[in-house]
């Protein structure tokens, strides 16, 4: 396979990589060598590739620090309302290239590195992904941080500095195997420990009700040590902060208890409380009610609220002197956004601080709390909703349980009874406490009651919330409920990962689209421009060639770069219906086998994503995909007309390579199950066409690009509801009626894809035939017909590319800048700004 154009040569032609002018290359080389020599204490003769990466990262970081300090000074002078985005996950990926893009340093650094005889891509590949998230929710938080900085908001991301992020996935003999992600092994040049802001967090103990108020006593203390990471806005000189907390045992931990000879054990036991920030729970859309997880959720909230209160009280830069004590003003100066229910403990914790520590009366404190907090819901799947057992609460956070009981009592007696007298069933449904065998706290109900705004993450999702899950709450407080359709940052997901496409767009409509993605609409003027159509197709082909080289190097699999690159990359979950994709793979394989001499559209079908380690069905789905690949990829009759590849260890960095190469994006969840999706938007922005159901943000994508420019198929939400309300879903009806479906299922069941273990997929077959909540067979026929339409269009490259242009032009709405502007104006009460602040002297 011919090598694509060298990246250095390509990049030199691209203006969007350094729009603000090329910095002094000689100065960058000097700084690089200084860091190599003085920071890393390495001689050029013995330095490794990793040393060079650290030298470059430190050089780029130098350009951040002045802006970072200046930004914080600017906020203290202006004293704006601050936004606190609290999330248990921030899926950041790599930082180096994104920082260079946002500071307009990319071309200058590239040239400096080139002149030093080094390869930029090799150095970038030394950086570990910061994989502190599972999937969509954590990556959304990362995109939001980029947009908040780019829009000049005084915003902070608060989370946990997990020592081990999302596991690394290895595929061994077709099975997923997990490996610990020791991402901090070589150090992290982007973070700065801030021990001076260490905060105590308390657990366990008991409460004492005294005339002076309630005291929470006999607690165990864990220290929260903050690490700050700079978040640069796009070329506006603003650098915000992501602050992640790490758990530390206090110096006297357990020592007061040790008897003779117990000293060593007491020191070893420090690990127990430091385990709080040890590892990210690897579940996506699934609730696991473990004590350690509840500890993590309270830990981040308790530490963050101490920071918020400290910053609210002191308004002079660098000052700890208290100047503001009236908490009635808190909602004017502070907005707290809860990213799902994971940080829900912020509500009772804020009440505890206001009532027990700051001595506000309950009603005043509650008013402040509600006006400060807002809640984003991310799922309607019942197994994902957090419900914590009361016994665990009583043991771990006794004061907070009392506060939750009191919130619930007042809510039910005053608010609900007042509006719906005598409706006991409604009271039971709306209670924060679920009765039954084991009483539980419903965290979503706590969030709704304790927030002034509740939002879903795509229009259809928000509509489903108020019609079903939160219907009672909507009827009580309709004004609380909003929609905020998700978005993605065009800096990482276009300029950084697809510079060729960004440049072709910039040549036609200028460079403002990077800040204002709505400008992509201007591309519609070029829909019949042959030169533009050619340019778009050429960039796609280059990206495919580059990804094909990557696949050959890493997967030892040779693929046809002329084939359609068909991707389904996301967490493995039954509701996302990777199994429907499997049925298409098998059907297409069977058709080629049946008529091998027919002209078939060649396809490379790539599936990637991690299965939660305890999710047996998801792991079996991965095994089925790899098994289908083993048969298809070695069948000489098929040749290079169909290849099935499972992409190992899908993560942010792999997405940045894969997405620009995609022709087709599979977004095929059962209607009404995917809250929004954001991968769908990334593919659309990078020139892939979508085959999908009317679910999540797909609905709005079809609206923006025109439904005829997406391959929409299958049941709508109304059809699913009608089926559930009517005769129900019966898989056997479809199996008996559709010969190609029957053939595919019989092959899976009969061991065609698992000769050595014919009953290997017995459980999956049983699931699909008898227990399928997500109605795979009901959409099979429509999906296969839709895939036939995809094949037909792909044979006409010009028409395909015109449809691609319609899609790119319709992407404006899906910028996270738009999403954040709406949060800012409609929930947080702050005004976004594209104003640039003065640059500091970088030296």
H or E element: which one contains 85? strand 82-86
Mean pLDDT of 151-160: 98
Q: What is the DSSP string of 467-485?
A: HTTTHHHHHH-GGGEEE--
Tens digit of pLDDT for each residue in 745-770? 999 999 999 999 999 999 999 999 99
Contact 9, 499 (CB under 8 A): no
Higher-confidence residue: 13 or 295?
Answer: 295
Mean pLDDT value across residues 49-67? 97
Helices (H), 595-648: 616-632
Whole-number pLDDT of residue 126: 98
Residue 280 in 3-state DSSP?
coil
**Distance of alpha carbon 602 from alpha carbon 582, whole angstroms:** 17
Q: How confident is the model at residue 12 (pLDDT cuts 50, 70, 90)?
A: low
Bridge partners (DSSP) listed for residue 444: none
Strands (E), 284-436: 334-339, 373-376, 387-389, 433-434
pLDDT at 21 over 60: no
CA 669, 671, 672, 678 torsion-angle sign: positive
The helix (H) or strand (E) run that includes residue 376 is strand 373-376
What does residue 451 show for φ and ψ, rounded to 5 degrees? -125, 155
Cβ-contact 678, 143 below 8 angstroms: yes
pLDDT of residue 152: 98
pLDDT at 316 over 80: no
Predicted confidence (pLDDT) at residue 257 exceeds the cutoff of 70: no
Residue 15 has pLDDT above 80, yes or no: no
For residue 467, the model assigns a pLDDT of 97
Per-residue pLDDT averaged across 437-454, rounded? 97
pLDDT band at 841 (very low <50, low <70, confident <90, very high): confident
Classify residue 814 by its DSSP letter.
G
**Cα–Cα distance for residue pair 791/760, rounded to 1 Å:** 32
Per-residue pLDDT tens over the stretch 641-671: 999 999 999 999 999 999 999 999 999 999 9
Tokens 């990471």 sit on residue? 229
3-state secondary structure (DSSP) of residue 152? coil
| Per-residue model confidence (pLDDT) at position 319 | 60
- Report the distance separating Cα 786 and Cα 446, nearest Å: 43
Structure confidence by residue, pLDDT tens digits, 460-514: 999 999 999 999 999 999 999 999 999 999 999 999 999 999 999 999 999 999 9
Name the token pair of 373: 């907090």
Tens of pLDDT, residues 70-104: 999 999 889 999 999 999 999 999 999 999 999 99
Cα three-residue angle 167-447-75, rounded to 5 degrees: 80
Q: What is the pLDDT of residues 114-154, one digit of tens each?
A: 999 999 999 999 999 999 999 999 999 999 999 999 999 99
Alpha helices (H) along 397-470: 398-410, 417-419, 424-430, 443-449, 459-467
Look at phi and psi of residue 838 and say left if phi exceeds 0, alpha if psi is from -120 to 50, else beta.
Answer: beta
pLDDT at residue number 415? 78
Residue 840: predicted pLDDT: 86
Decide if 297 contacts 276 (C-beta within 8 A). no
Q: Using the predicted structure, report yes or no on whether residue 386 has a pLDDT greater than 50.
A: yes
User: 632-637 long-range CB contacts below 8 Å, 24 or more apart?
Assistant: 632/585, 632/589, 633/557, 635/589, 635/593, 637/592, 637/593, 637/596
pLDDT at residue 397 greater than cutoff 50: yes
pLDDT of residue 331: 98
Condensed to tens digits (0 to 9), the pLDDT of residues 343-361 reads: 999 999 999 999 999 999 9
Q: Any idea which of 41-55, 635-649, 796-810 has the lowest mean pLDDT? A: 41-55
Task: Spell 719-741 as b/e; 16+ CB within 10 A means b.
Answer: bbbeeeeeeebebeebbeebebb
Neighbouring CB atoms inside 10 A of 169's CB total 23
What per-residue confidence (pLDDT) applies to 681? Answer: 98
Q: How many CB atoms lie within 10 A of CB 222?
A: 26
Q: Residues 812-838: pLDDT tens digits?
A: 999 999 999 999 999 999 999 999 999
Contact of 782 with 713, CB cutoff 8 Å: yes
The helix (H) or strand (E) run that includes residue 227 is strand 220-232
Which residues belong to the active site?
378, 570-571, 576, 678, 682
> Rounded CA gap, 106 and 124, in Å?
12
Residue 259 binned pLDDT confidence (cut-offs 50, 70, 90): low
pLDDT of residue 735: 98
* Nearest to 458, CA basis, from 795, 129, 60, 140: 140
Give the ranges where 25-174 is alpha helix by DSSP (H). Answer: 25-34, 49-78, 96-102, 106-115, 120-124, 136-150
Answer with the residue of higher pLDDT: 46 or 714.
Answer: 714
∠161-162-168 over CA atoms, to 5°? 135
Which has the higher per-residue pLDDT, 15 or 223? 223
pLDDT at 627 over 90: yes
Give burial (CB, 10 Å; 0-12/13-18/19+) of 174. Answer: middle
Report residue 265's pLDDT band, with 50, 70 and 90 as the boundaries: confident
Mean pLDDT estimate for the chain: 94
Token pair of 369 as six digits:
């709390």
pLDDT of residue 20: 34
Q: Does residue 547 have a pLDDT over 50?
A: yes
Q: Is the pLDDT of residue 390 over 60?
A: yes
Is the pLDDT at 267 greater than 90, yes or no? Answer: no
- Does residue 16 register a pLDDT over 70? no
| Predicted TM-score of the model (pTM) | 0.96
The helix or strand, by DSSP H or E, that contains position 243, with its residue range, turns out to be: strand 239-248
Averaged pLDDT, 214-237: 97
Please state, in angstroms and rounded to a whole number, the distance separating the CA atoms of residues 702 and 568: 18
Q: Identify the pLDDT of residue 10.
A: 61
Over 90: is that where the pLDDT of 708 sits? Answer: yes
Separation of alpha carbons 664 and 315, rounded Å? 52
pLDDT of residue 642: 97
- Beta-carbon contacts of 9 under 8 Å, excluding residues fewer than 6 positions away, are none
């Amino acid at each position: 396979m011919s090598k694509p154009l060298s990246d250095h040569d390509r990049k030199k032609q691209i203006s969007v990589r350094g729009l603000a002018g090329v910095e002094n290359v000689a100065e960058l080389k000097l700084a690089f060598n200084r860091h190599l020599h003085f920071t890393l204490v390495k001689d050029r003769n013995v330095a490794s590739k990793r040393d060079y990466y650290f030298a470059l990262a430190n050089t780029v970081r130098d350009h951040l620090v002045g802006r970072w300090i200046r930004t914080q000074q600017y906020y203290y002078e202006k004293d704006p309302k601050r936004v606190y985005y609290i999330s248990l996950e921030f899926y950041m990926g790599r930082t180096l290239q994104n920082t260079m893009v946002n500071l307009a340093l990319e071309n200058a650094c590239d040239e400096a590195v080139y002149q030093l005889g080094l390869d930029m891509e090799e150095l970038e590949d030394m950086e570990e992904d910061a994989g502190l998230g599972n999937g969509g929710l954590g990556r959304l938080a990362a995109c939001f941080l980029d947009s908040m900085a780019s829009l000049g908001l005084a915003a902070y991301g608060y989370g946990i500095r997990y020592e081990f992020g999302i596991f690394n996935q290895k595929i061994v003999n077709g099975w997923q195997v997990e490996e610990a992600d020791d991402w901090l092994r070589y150090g992290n040049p982007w973070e700065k420990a801030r021990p001076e802001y260490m905060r105590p967090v308390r657990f366990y103990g008991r409460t004492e009700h005294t005339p002076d108020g309630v005291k929470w006593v006999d607690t165990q203390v864990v220290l929260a040590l903050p690490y700050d990471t700079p978040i640069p806005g796009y070329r506006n000189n603003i650098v915000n902060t992501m602050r992640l907390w790490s758990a530390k045992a206090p110096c006297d931990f357990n020592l007061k208890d040790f008897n003779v000879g117990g000293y060593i054990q007491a020191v070893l036991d420090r690990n127990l409380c430091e385990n709080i920030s040890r590892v990210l729970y690897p579940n996506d859309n699934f609730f696991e009610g473990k004590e350690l997880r509840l500890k993590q959720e309270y830990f981040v909230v308790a530490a963050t609220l101490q920071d918020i209160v400290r910053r609210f009280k002191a308004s002079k830069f660098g000052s700890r002197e208290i100047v503001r004590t009236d908490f009635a003003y808190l909602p004017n100066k502070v907005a707290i956004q809860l990213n799902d229910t994971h940080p829900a403990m912020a509500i009772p914790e804020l009440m505890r601080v206001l009532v027990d520590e700051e001595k506000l009366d309950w009603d005043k404190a509650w008013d402040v709390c509600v006006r400060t907090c807002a809640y984003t819901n991310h799922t309607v799947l019942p197994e994902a909703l957090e419900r914590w057992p009361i016994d665990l609460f009583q043991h771990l956070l006794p004061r907070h349980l009392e506060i939750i009981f009191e919130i619930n009592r007042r809510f039910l007696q005053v608010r609900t009874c007042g509006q719906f007298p005598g409706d006991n069933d409604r009271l039971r449904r709306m209670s924060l406490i679920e009765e039954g065998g084991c009483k539980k706290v419903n965290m979503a109900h706590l969030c709704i009651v304790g927030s002034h705004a509740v939002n879903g993450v795509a229009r259809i999702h928000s509509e489903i919330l108020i019609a079903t899950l939160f219907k009672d709450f909507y009827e009580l407080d309709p004004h609380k409920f909003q929609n905020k359709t998700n978005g993605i940052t065009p800096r990482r997901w276009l300029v950084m990962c697809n510079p060729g496409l960004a440049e072709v767009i910039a040549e036609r409509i200028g460079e403002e689209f990077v800040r204002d993605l709505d400008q992509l609409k201007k591309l519609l003027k070029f829909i019949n421009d042959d030169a533009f159509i050619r340019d778009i197709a050429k960039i796609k082909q280059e990206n495919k060639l580059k990804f094909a080289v990557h696949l050959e190097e890493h997967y030892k699999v040779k693929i046809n770069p002329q084939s359609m690159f068909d991707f389904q990359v996301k967490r493995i979950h039954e509701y996302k219906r990777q199994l429907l994709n499997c049925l298409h793979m098998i059907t297409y394989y069977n058709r080629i086998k049946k008529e091998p001499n027919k002209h078939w559209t060649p396809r490379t079908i790539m599936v990637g994503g991690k299965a939660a380690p305890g999710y047996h069905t998801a792991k079996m789905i991965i095994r089925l995909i790899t098994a289908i690949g083993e048969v298809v990829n070695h069948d000489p009759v098929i040749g290079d007309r169909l290849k099935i590849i499972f992409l190992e260890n899908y993560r942010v960095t792999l997405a940045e390579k894969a997405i620009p190469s995609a022709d087709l994006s599979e977004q095929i969840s059962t209607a009404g199950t995917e809250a929004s999706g954001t991968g769908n938007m990334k593919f659309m922005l990078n020139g892939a066409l979508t085959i999908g159901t009317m679910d999540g943000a797909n609905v709005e994508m079809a609206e923006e690009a025109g439904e005829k420019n997406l391959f929409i198929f299958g049941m709508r939400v109304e059809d699913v509801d009608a089926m559930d309300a009517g005769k129900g879903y019966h898989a056997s009806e479809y199996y008996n009626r559709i010969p190609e479906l029957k053939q595919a299922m019989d092959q899976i069941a009969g061991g065609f894809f698992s000769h050595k273990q014919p009953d290997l997929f017995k459980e999956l077959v049983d699931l699909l035939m008898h227990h399928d909540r997500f109605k795979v067979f009901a959409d099979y026929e429509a999906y296969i017909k839709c895939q036939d339409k995809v094949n037909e269009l792909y044979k006409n490259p010009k028409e395909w590319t015109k449809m691609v242009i319609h899609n790119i032009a319709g992407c404006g709405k899906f910028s996270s800048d738009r999403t954040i502007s709406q949060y800012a104006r409609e929930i947080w009460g702050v005004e976004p700004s594209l104003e640039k602040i003065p640059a500091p002297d970088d030296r």
